[in-house]
Amino acid sequence: MPEHKSHHYVPQMYMRLFARVGDNRIGIYVIDRAKFIPNAPIRGQACRNYFYGKDRRAEQALGYMEGHASRIFAEAINHARLPTPGSQGHEWLVFYLGMQHARTVGAAEQHNEGSEKVAKAMLRHRAKLEGNGEIIAALDRVRIRPSNAVSELLRYTTVGSRLLADLSFILIRNESHTPFIASDTPVVLHNKLYEGQHISVTGYANVGLQLFLPLGPQLAIFGFDSKAYSVETDVGGLVEVDNASQVLLMNDLQWEAAHEVLLVSPDMSEQALQASALDWSSRRRRERTILRQEIVYQSDSEARMRYGSGEAPSRVSLDLPFVTCKLPKPAPLAPWEIPPFRDAERVTRVDRDLGSFDE
């Protein structure tokens, strides 16, 4: 059997944060089967054969990044400290968060789904203009998938993760009897300011962005746009939550983002998981992306269209009492609008670097 063929898209070091001390087993909840496995071996979870390719370069680079992240997480858990903004540790934290958000099966499937919707929309429009009913009928029976979605996402996130660097990061300590849960898509983005909009509002550079990453059942990293929100912390700079309803709201983000499984403590209550599963059975998104298309110009002989896709809006209303919106509720966005950028100059620099990266 070839060595190193099983690639974890959620690192084993991260999943161990939910295991008992010294154990290599974790609780998992398989969503489609509504099945709780309280003692599943970590090595067999959140992995795919050759997910990052066969030359091992991407896997080795990710492993190096995970080593830095592991030390940051240990410091957070043992001493309730995150790296100081501007430090090398802070840069590694931001890089890890961006890469972890982009490196999962869920992220790849979302990218594939959006690409397919755009490609089919373009082909369908052309077939209609040409009167080609055969193509139109066939489009519903075929799948169009990029062959390198993960590589493409990682390539862009290598540079694009810098857009997260201006977020403020704090720790949330869970003092309630309801533990935090994670999923096979553990870094979750949200935007309380732009909730209720019809398009994706969680671009890395968007005003109002929020980020959540649980670090085990009792701790989570919370990143937020400090110009859009104020966060009430204790004297040590932490948020302490003892209300189970608030923890359940943050857990809802994991239910919504999860691709196939939830990652939980082996001691998690199966009854609590099944209750949440019942609540989410009709709320889980069947499609992760939405298609946008618009006629830019049309005449008797010509029609110009533009197409795009983005993540479907969240269905979670994240009303956390320790977070206060500092900005007024924005008006509904027009079909092709996006939330403004926190720092337009930073976006321009990153776009320029991405262009160089692709050359």
CA-to-CA dists, residue 100 to 58, 162, 202, 278, 306, angstroms: 13, 14, 15, 28, 31
pTM for the model stands at: 0.93
Cα separation, 300 vs 237, in Å, equals 63
8 Å CB contact between 171 and 220: yes
pLDDT at res. 358: 58
pLDDT at res. 307: 87
Note the pLDDT tens digit of each residue in 257-300: 999 999 999 999 999 999 999 999 888 888 889 888 888 887 87
Identify the three-state secondary structure at position 188. Answer: strand
% of the chain exceeding 90 in pLDDT: 65
pLDDT at res. 58: 85
Note the pLDDT tens digit of each residue in 165-182: 999 999 999 999 999 999
Q: Which residues contact 231 (CB under 8 A, 6 or more apart)?
A: 168, 170, 222, 224, 239, 322, 323, 324
Residue ranges of E strands in 125-232: 168-174, 182-183, 188-190, 210-214, 219-224, 229-231
Mean pLDDT of 319-338: 93
Q: How crowded is the C-beta side of 163, counted as CA atoms within 13 Å?
A: 30
Identify the three-state secondary structure at position 69. Answer: helix
Smallest CA-to-CA distance from 330 within 206, 186, 159 is with: 206
Q: What's the pLDDT band for 1 if we cut at 50, 70, 90? A: very low
8 Å CB contact between 285 and 312: yes
Strands 239-241 and 168-174 turn out to be parallel
Cα separation, 224 vs 282, in Å, equals 29
Q: What's the pLDDT band for 27 if we cut at 50, 70, 90? A: very high
Identify the three-state secondary structure at position 28. Answer: strand
pLDDT at res. 352: 87
Q: How do the domains of the chain map onto residue ranges?
A: 6-358
Is residue 129 over pLDDT 60? yes
Q: What's the pLDDT band for 3 if we cut at 50, 70, 90? A: low
Report how far apart the first and last C-alpha atoms of the chain are (Å, whole number).
Answer: 37
Identify the three-state secondary structure at position 292. Answer: strand
The mean pLDDT of the chain is: 92
CA-to-CA dists, residue 350 to 159, 167, 169, 208, 311, angstroms: 7, 16, 21, 19, 21
Cα separation, 304 vs 83, in Å, equals 49
User: How long is the chain?
Assistant: 359
